[in-house]
């Protein structure tokens, strides 16, 4: 990512704004308010996940959620993504064309927990599914596995309701382990990963996926264990895509 070039292009997109001090101030305030909206969406969904985890633990004496983390894209990343889409860096384009400014990552002990958490969230009336990408059943070429869900969640303010888009990544602890280390290997590198390293990464991902599957089988020995990783998850997928007229996207 060439930060200097990104900022230069963003400045070119806003020449008229930069020439007007009042315009700069107003845009800064609008941007701050937008970030507050995205933070509110994260808070709303985080609370929902925490309640679902508490309910599940109360019923089944274990927690289907290991960790919940969140982030807001930084301004440079927002500008870079807009430019990658061939769009000018404006607040309107940011709101209209980007759905991953707010992000939540949920890690779960078992594969079935991933689908269970997704199902329980999407059944709520104030959460609307925008897009689902299942990289668990359909891994990326580099071996990456995770369930990516973009939703709009209703947030109620003093005078209005706003539907806030949030990207949610749900994965097992093992998947998160691989993804975190793979990110470190690629972090801020401006060169292509050597073929042998990429192949080794894919091999590690396959080993971790196999271990995940074995742990899933062991989990079936837990009394009352709910398995959403196989037939139940497939049936849920079919009804979900039918109801929302969606397809799996890769």
**For range 94-121, the mean pLDDT:** 94
> Please, what is the Cα angle at 6 between 5 and 8, to 5 degrees?
65
* Contacting residues for 100 by C-beta, under 8 A, at least 6 apart: 73, 150, 165, 167
Give 6's pLDDT tier (boundaries 50, 70, 90). confident
- Give residue 246's pLDDT: 47
In this structure, of 165-169, 186-190, 209-213, 246-250, the range with the lowest mean pLDDT score is: 246-250
Three-state secondary structure call for residue 234: helix
- Give residue 234's pLDDT: 53
pLDDT digits (tens, 9 = 90+) for 94-104: 999 999 999 99
* Contacting residues for 56 by C-beta, under 8 A, at least 6 apart: 62, 63, 64, 116
Q: Which residue has the higher pLDDT, 184 or 104?
A: 104
Q: Which two tokens stand for residue 176?
A: 């998160």
Instruction: State the pTM of this model.
Output: 0.84
pLDDT digits (tens, 9 = 90+) for 23-35: 778 888 888 999 9
- Give residue 5's pLDDT: 85
- Give residue 248's pLDDT: 38
């Amino acid at each position: 990512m060439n930060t200097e070039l990104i900022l230069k292009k963003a400045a070119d997109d806003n020449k008229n704004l930069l020439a007007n001090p009042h315009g700069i101030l107003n845009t800064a305030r609008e941007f701050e308010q937008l970030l507050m909206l995205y933070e509110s969406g994260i808070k709303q969904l985080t609370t929902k996940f925490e309640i679902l985890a508490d309910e599940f633990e109360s019923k089944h004496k274990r927690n289907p959620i290991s960790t919940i983390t969140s982030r807001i894209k930084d301004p440079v990343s927002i500008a870079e993504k807009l430019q990658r889409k061939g769009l000018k860096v404006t607040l309107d384009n940011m709101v209209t064309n980007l759905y991953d400014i707010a992000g939540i990552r949920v890690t779960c002990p078992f594969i079935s927990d991933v689908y269970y958490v997704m199902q329980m969230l999407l059944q709520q009336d104030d959460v609307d599914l925008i897009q689902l990408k299942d990289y668990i059943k359909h891994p990326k070429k580099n071996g990456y596995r995770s369930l990516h869900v973009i939703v709009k969640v209703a947030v109620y303010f003093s005078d209005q309701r706003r539907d806030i888009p949030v990207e949610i990544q749900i994965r097992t602890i093992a998947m998160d382990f691989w993804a975190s280390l793979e990110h470190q290997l690629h972090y801020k590198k401006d060169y292509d990963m050597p073929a042998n390293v990429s192949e080794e990464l894919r091999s590690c991902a396959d080993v971790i996926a196999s271990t995940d599957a074995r742990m899933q089988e062991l989990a079936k020995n837990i009394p009352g264990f709910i398995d959403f990783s196989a037939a139940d998850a497939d049936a849920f997928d079919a009804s979900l895509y039918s109801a929302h007229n969606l397809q799996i996207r890769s």
